[in-house]
Amino acid sequence: MSKKKLAVIIIISIFVIAALPFVLEIAIFRNDVYSVLSNGEWGGFLGSYIGGVLGGVGTLLAVYITTKETRKIQQENSTQIEDEKRRNERKERKQFADEIAKDIATYITDISNYFYACRDLKQLYVKERNLNDELYRIDWQIGQKHNTLKKLNLDKNADEYISVQNELEELKQKESELKYRIGKNAREIERNKADRTVANERYFLLQMKLQNIEKGEVILKQLEFIHSNSTNIDETAYNFISIESDKLLNLTVRFLDIYINQKLI
């Protein structure tokens, strides 16, 4: 009940209470109608009767107001409970979404390192093979020069002997440089050796977390596409992982927004 309506009822009640004695005076006590009851008896009866009626009306009004206020309080409490429930549910969704975001970020970081490490390793292995082939060629030439020196007489072929000796020293210098480069390349191979243990862990975690969420299917499909092609070095472009990771990020951002805010699409 509004305050305006309550004020009107109170004013009307005051007016009725104030006017009632005058109405009784005119209608009951100052008329010519014969009655077996005296004015005093009528006054007592009407007083009790009207008092009971006014008391009942007052009680009903009080009950009505109390009931309405109780319902209002209950409604407010119910609204607060629903609001608190929605806030708690959103908080839980936000925590879950943060876990998904962290898993995706960790996965992309590790799978990217693995993808480019595999490509670098491939080049390093090619370089290692070429360096070893060149070292084999140099060693063969060194062996040939040694054989030539054995056949030459220093006294008779001094100039040729010195020339071959100088060529041999140059070859030995190249051999030393090649061995250094091979060692350096071997160290680079060891540094670039990588696996996708962390990526595998996050991949399976995401599979478990999103498999029963309908809107998470697109993320799992993109995740599967990246994971299955991360080892396919020969048939994927150099920027494959960058392009597909950006797609995965965009899908994840969209999913998290929909999931946290419970949007309909």
pLDDT tens-place string over residues 166-194: 998 999 999 999 999 999 989 888 887 77
Asked if residue 17 has pLDDT above 70, the reply is: no
Q: Please report the pLDDT score of residue 15 as a whole number.
A: 61
Average pLDDT over residues 12-18: 62
Tokens of 9: 């009822």
Q: What is the mean pLDDT of the chain?
A: 81
Q: Please report the pLDDT score of residue 101 as a whole number.
A: 94
pLDDT tens-place string over residues 106-160: 999 999 989 988 888 888 888 899 999 999 999 999 999 888 888 877 667 788 8
Q: Please report the pLDDT score of residue 9 as a whole number.
A: 66
Q: Please report the pLDDT score of residue 119 as a whole number.
A: 84
Q: Please report the pLDDT score of residue 37 as a whole number.
A: 47
CA distance 131 to 184: 11
Asked if residue 196 has pLDDT above 50, the reply is: yes
Tokens of 57: 């009306």
- Main-chain dihedrals φ then ψ at residue 155, nearest 5 degrees: -70, -35
CA distance 143 to 149: 10
CB atoms within 10 A of CB 138: 20
- Higher per-residue pLDDT: 237 or 75: 237
Q: Which pTM was predicted? A: 0.59
Q: Is 148 helix (H, G, I), strand (E, B) or coil?
A: helix
Angstrom distances, CA of residue 239 to CA of 12, 39, 122, 219:
85, 110, 16, 20
Question: Binning pLDDT at 50, 70 and 90, where does residue 53 land?
Answer: low
Tokens of 68: 């309405």
| DSSP assigned state of 3 | H
Q: Please report the pLDDT score of residue 139 as a whole number.
A: 92
Alpha-carbon dihedral sign for residues 244, 245, 247, 248: positive
Q: Please report the pLDDT score of residue 36 as a whole number.
A: 47
Average pLDDT over residues 196-211: 93
| DSSP assigned state of 27 | I
pLDDT tens-place string over residues 90-106: 899 899 999 999 999 99
Q: Amino acid letter at 22?
A: F
pLDDT tens-place string over residues 28-40: 555 555 454 455 5
Q: Render 160-210 in DSSP notation, one character per residue.
A: HHHHHHHHHHHHHHHHHHHHHHHHHHHHHHHHH----HHHHHHHHHHHHHH
Q: Please report the pLDDT score of residue 206 as a whole number.
A: 95
CA distance 24 to 81: 54
Range of lowest pLDDT (10-19, 41-50, 53-62, 115-124): 41-50
Q: Render 13-33 in DSSP notation, one character per residue.
A: HHHHHHHHHHHHIIIIITS--
